[in-house]
Amino acid sequence: MELTSFYFLCFYAAVLILYYIVPVIFKGRGQWVVLLAASVSYYYMAEGGKLLLYPFFASFVTWTLVMVLTKLDKKQIAARRSVLILELFILLGILVGLKYIRFVYADTISLAVPLGLSFYTFMLLGYFIDVYNGICEPQTNLLKTCLYGMYFPLMTSGPIVKLREGGKQFFERHELEYNNITFGMQRMLWGFFKELVISQRLGKVVDTVYAQDSGYAGIYVWFATACFAFQLYTNFSGCMDIVIGLSETFGLVMPENFRTPFLAKNISEYWRRWHATLGIWMKDNLFYPLLRTKFFMNQAKKFKKKFGKKLGKQLNTWLAMLILWTAVGLWHGGDLKYVIGSGILHWSYIVIGEATLPFFTWLFGEKLHINMEGKAADAFRVVRTFFLVNLGFVFFRASSTGHAIKLLVAGVSTFNITELFNGHIFDLGLDFVEMTVAFVSIAVLIVVSVLQYKMEQKAEADKDYVGPRNVRQLIASKHLILRWVIWFALIMYVILLGEYGPGYSAAEFIYEGF
């Protein structure tokens, strides 16, 4: 049951009504029970009874081991560590067994991967590790742990919510508020615009060029790859908009997962803006613990002794980052193309960027006297970062590593940008009208993204900033008539230009597979 389907919207409407009626009937109690019942129902309708056992089992194991952990004294280090290892072994064992063994034994083993497996596994693991480290209060109620682990909007594509930060609000009473409903539905509408108007259209171009033996080369490969970048972004961030907006109507604040990533000036900033909650989880639960292990502490001493304090520390960090980025690649899938395109490639970008920064700072700043803080330099950094990200997307979208390499070779074997203007572009799956709709919509997306980015920059630069912090707040500050014109126009835009019609079915969100 996809988030963009009519059936899901009916389901959501029923849940929303019950969510605010139940506490009136039961004297302020029962909202979290409604969410749990809705989550179980959603998962059952989407996956069936058998696969529903996985999130329940993962939640039960985590709750049980957290309860065991609370009975142990902090001085019982060996016992506590054994409980941690058991939690990691069970939850990661399920994740590896269901998600990665099929890549190794694809011809002999066929396993169904439960919806949201990676997301609820990481959320529950993160919660357990936080309790283990003493930075999160244990949740003693089994059913509340189940709700945290399988809150239904997060099952599709996240975000990864920490119990110690935003998870506790699942169990609190939330009053019906006009702003929550209107702002939440506006956010959902923006998500529908991204997914139905932009993502599904661009998918036709991408599928045409990226088909095996399609024969496309040169500028067509790069055009389709740029289309895929926007397809993936509007698909994933559109899903996040729906999830965050839907949750807002329940009075729940979900963490932002996408913050205008294509305006990032370097790869590190890009990953702080793209799938941000995954990056935070990886840093908190893998990268920093790695650096505190005996191996890396000893390695740091060896590096510092041999290469000096500054370079030695950097080399040790890069080594830990190699493991981190390999894990990020593996999170997306067990195929080598994910390890390269979403992992190792981005690690190499960061390492090369940090290693060559002093040289290029000297070359462009001191030698060539180029203003490295100017708008032109920033624009160059944005374009450069987008291009580097697109190289990774070639691996992500290709059917295999070999297919990705073949496409990259085809992309540089011949290159004639004028081919985009000779009419053949309309043979890629979209005619002139459809292509125009796609690019006008992308232009709207870019304008809104730039506005959002500038407001974020103002808020970050000035702690006393009291103006609008997002586009919805900016629109809300305008005259009533203008507000309604904007939102009504967007509603009609989605209804008239969304990918509907005979045989239409809601397309899966790309990240559901992860």
Residue 373's pLDDT is 81
Residue 241's pLDDT is 95
pLDDT tens, the chain, 514 aa long: 678 888 899 999 999 999 999 999 988 889 999 999 999 999 888 877 777 888 899 999 999 999 999 999 888 989 999 999 999 999 999 888 887 766 555 554 555 667 778 888 999 999 999 999 999 999 999 999 999 999 999 887 889 999 988 888 999 999 999 999 999 999 999 999 999 999 999 999 999 999 987 788 889 999 999 999 999 999 999 999 999 999 999 999 999 999 999 999 999 999 999 999 999 999 999 999 999 999 999 998 999 989 898 899 999 999 999 999 999 998 888 789 999 999 999 999 999 999 998 888 888 878 877 887 888 889 999 999 999 999 999 999 999 999 999 999 999 888 788 887 888 889 888 899 999 999 999 999 999 999 998 888 888 888 788 888 888 989 998 899 999 999 999 999 999 888 764 444 444 555 555 5
Residue 240 dihedral angles phi and psi, to the nearest 5°: -60, -40
Closest listed residue to residue 392, CA positions, set 428, 351, 347, 356: 347
Angle in degrees, CA 312, 315, 318, rounded to 5: 150
Predicted TM-score (pTM) of the model is 0.90
In 10 A of CB 493, how many CB atoms?
19
Residue 138's pLDDT is 93
Cα–Cα distance measured from residue 489 to residue 482, given in angstroms and rounded to the nearest whole number:
10
258 - beta bridge partners?
A: 274
Domain ranges of the chain: 6-176, 184-258+400-514, 268-397
Cα–Cα distance measured from residue 346 to residue 356, given in angstroms and rounded to the nearest whole number:
15
Angle in degrees, CA 185, 453, 391, rounded to 5: 100
In 10 A of CB 487, how many CB atoms?
16
Residue 258 dihedral angles phi and psi, to the nearest 5°: -135, 125
Dihedral angle over CA of 212, 213, 214, 220, nearest 10: 90
First-to-last C-alpha distance (Å) of the chain: 17
Rg (CA), the chain: 24
Cα–Cα distance measured from residue 162 to residue 167, given in angstroms and rounded to the nearest whole number:
6
Let me know: does 252 contact 171? Beta carbons within 8 Å: no
- Kindly tell me the sign of the dihedral angle through the C-alpha atoms of 341, 343, 345, 346: positive
Let me know: does 420 contact 223? Beta carbons within 8 Å: yes
Cis peptide preceding 261, ω within 30 of 0: no
Enumerate residues 6+ apart whose C-beta is below 8 A from 144. 32, 170, 171
Residue linked to tokens 């969510």: 19
Residue linked to tokens 């009609």: 492
Let me know: does 258 contact 276? Beta carbons within 8 Å: yes
Angle in degrees, CA 302, 308, 311, rounded to 5: 95
Residue linked to tokens 């580097």: 388
Q: Please, what's the b/e burial string for 43-58 (b: 16 or more CB within 10 A of its CB; e: otherwise)?
A: beebbeeebbebbeeb
